[in-house]
Chains A and B, each alone.
Chain A
Amino acid sequence: MDSEKPADLRRTPLHTLHIARGAKMVPFAGYEMPVQYPTGIISEHLHTRAKAGLFDVSHMGQVALHGVTAAMLETLVPGDIAGLTEGRMRYTLLLNDDGGIIDDLMAIRFADRLGLVVNAATKEGDVAHLRDRLGAATGVELLEDRALLALQGPAAAAVLARIAGAGVATMPFLSCALVERPGMTLFVTRSGYTGEDGFEISVPADRAVALAELLLAEPEVLPVGLGARDTLRLEAGLCLYGHDIDETTTPVSAGLAWTIAKRRREESSFPGAARILKELAHPPARRRVGIRPDGRAPAREGSAIVDPAGNLVGEVTSGGFSPSLNAPIAMGYVARPYSDPGTALSVVVRDVARPARVSPMPFVPTHYYRGH
């Protein structure tokens, strides 16, 4: 099987560490990435919920925007970027002119510029789009010389405080800080993709292994692969770009209307505003929902969703097994009359319609840091 891997896959700066720790490597978004370590997806998942997991997310795009004002970025996203104060970050969406979602991303306000963290599979396209729309006087720089680590879980703050100083433990949720360590400058954000408290740490590529080894030497920390990253984000009800959201979905149908700031709605000044404001007033035909199948059979991406009479009413966009709930969970799009929590539906798995219910999300309570 290994011999079938295309030779042109890129490797992150932590590649040797993954191999040394026995990771099973798989192709993902053009990179060779660890899907799991010998501990396995379920153990890695439960360990992250109980203590702390370390994830290599260096494949994601770290983008520096030069000469780009908040007002300029606001022409491409519906979030309140002007209201973002220094050292804070915000989840927002890159929208096309029809209001379809080009990518979901984090926008960060630095002292001297704006930065973005975008998805791996979309980063080249995002950069091209930004360059095209922001104009020649600006610079859109994909930082290829930096790695990105995520430390997630209830013990993440205590662990990182030992390495980066006590200050990180009281960083507000969705804030960022520069931390000087001997031999490396870390850019730390209190953020993540698991529903737990945690941090994402940008580090120069040539220091990534040293930092990862420091973190992994702490007793609470296990390395965690993409397999558990997916089950963790699904439990937290978070979208995976290219699956749960894409250019055919809008922020409203995706249940992400909360990312459209009040001022931006009033100004009607973001891409696709006419369509999106109309959808806010008159909800669109389909809506992203959580789904809990009754039995144990997971309903995977692409599974049809039918009403009790067997009529097609939607489709699963992400689905799998929740290690925390010991039960299958899924998200997908359903016709609006079927989108209320508790609605009885069925998911079709291997040609058999299996009873399920629309569920609120997150499926598992989130534990973002809200101060002491």
Chain B
Amino acid sequence: MPTLRFTKDHEWVRLDGDTAVIGITDYAQQQLGDIVYVELPEPGSRVEAGKEAAVVESAKAASEVYAPVSGEVVAVNELIAGDPAKVNADPMGDGWFLSVKLDDPKALDALMDEAAYQAFVAEQG
């Protein structure tokens, strides 16, 4: 079973071999509301853990999506660039943002597992 981890900024990261798929959580899409635009990095570029990797704009405002881990961008989800509402509809599936080739697969160990993330969200009220 692939490793699934979460950040306090409400991104998720799913490890598949040495590649990690990244997106935003259901809680994040609910807080944002209707998503109207996403800006994705160029494949081949690098993302750094904790730094901006993508931008997501709701009807109200723009927000950053931070990279949970460092690595090289191997693919981005062009489907959500054309139809950003997919992020609202299926944030953990069709609404993924990007995949990266990890510098260090152990980097996920520092992130929250699903139970810890759900507890973290519950604390947000």
Contact = CB atoms under 8 A, between A and B. Distances in A.
B37 A296 contact: yes
Interface string A25-53: 00000000001100011110000000000
Contacts of B50: none
A300 interface: yes
A350 B39 contact: yes
A284 interface: no
A227 B34 CA distance: 11
A298 B36 CA distance: 9
Given A41-B34, A298-B37, A231 B125 contact: no
B9 to A, nearest CB: 14
A1 B32 CA distance: 13
A321 interface: yes
Contacts of A36: 33
B125 A321 contact: no
Interface string B38-82: 010000000000000001011111100000000000000000010
Given A297-B37, A298-B36, A321-B36, A231 B59 contact: yes
Interface residues of A, number: 22
Contacts of A40: 33-34, 59
Interface in B73-125: 81, 84, 124-125
Contact of B125 (A3, A228, A328): A3
A1 B59 contact: no
A277 to B, nearest CB: 40
Nearest to B37: A296
B99 to A, nearest CB: 22
A267 interface: no
A323 interface: yes
A41 B60 contact: yes
A323 B59 contact: yes
Interface string A202-229: 0000000000000000000000000110
Contact of B62 (A1, A43, A231, A300): A300
A321 B39 CA distance: 15
Contacts of B62: 298, 300, 350
Interface residues of B, number: 16
A41 B33 contact: yes
A2 interface: yes
Contacts of A298: 36-37, 57, 62
Interface in A254-269: none
Given A1-B124, A1-B125, A3-B125, A297 B57 contact: yes
A320 interface: yes
Contacts of A300: 61-62
Contact of A42 (B34, B61, B124): B34
Nearest to A328: B37
Contacts of A2: 125
Contacts of B57: 297-298, 321
Nearest to B61: A300
A321 B55 contact: no
A349 B118 CA distance: 34
A321 B37 contact: yes
Contact of B59 (A41, A296, A350): A41
A328 to B, nearest CB: 8
Contacts of B59: 40-42, 227-228, 231, 320-321, 323
Contacts of A328: 37
Contacts of B39: 297, 350
B59 to A, nearest CB: 4
Contacts of A3: 125
Contacts of A350: 39, 55, 62
Q: Which of A35, A36, A43, A321 lies at the interface centre, i.e. has the most chain B CB atoms within 10 A of its CB?
A: A321
A227 B33 contact: yes
B37 A35 contact: no
Contacts of B124: 1
Question: 10 nearest interchain CB pairs?
Answer: A41-B59, A321-B36, A42-B34, A40-B34, A296-B37, A41-B34, A40-B33, A297-B37, A298-B57, A227-B60
Given A2-B125, A350-B55, 14 more contacts: A1-B125, A40-B59, A41-B33, A41-B58, A227-B59, A231-B59, A296-B36, A296-B37, A298-B36, A298-B62, A300-B62, A320-B59, A321-B36, A321-B37
Interface of B: 33-34, 36-37, 39, 55, 57-62, 81, 84, 124-125
8 contacts: A1-B124, A41-B34, A41-B60, A228-B59, A296-B37, A296-B84, A298-B62, A321-B37
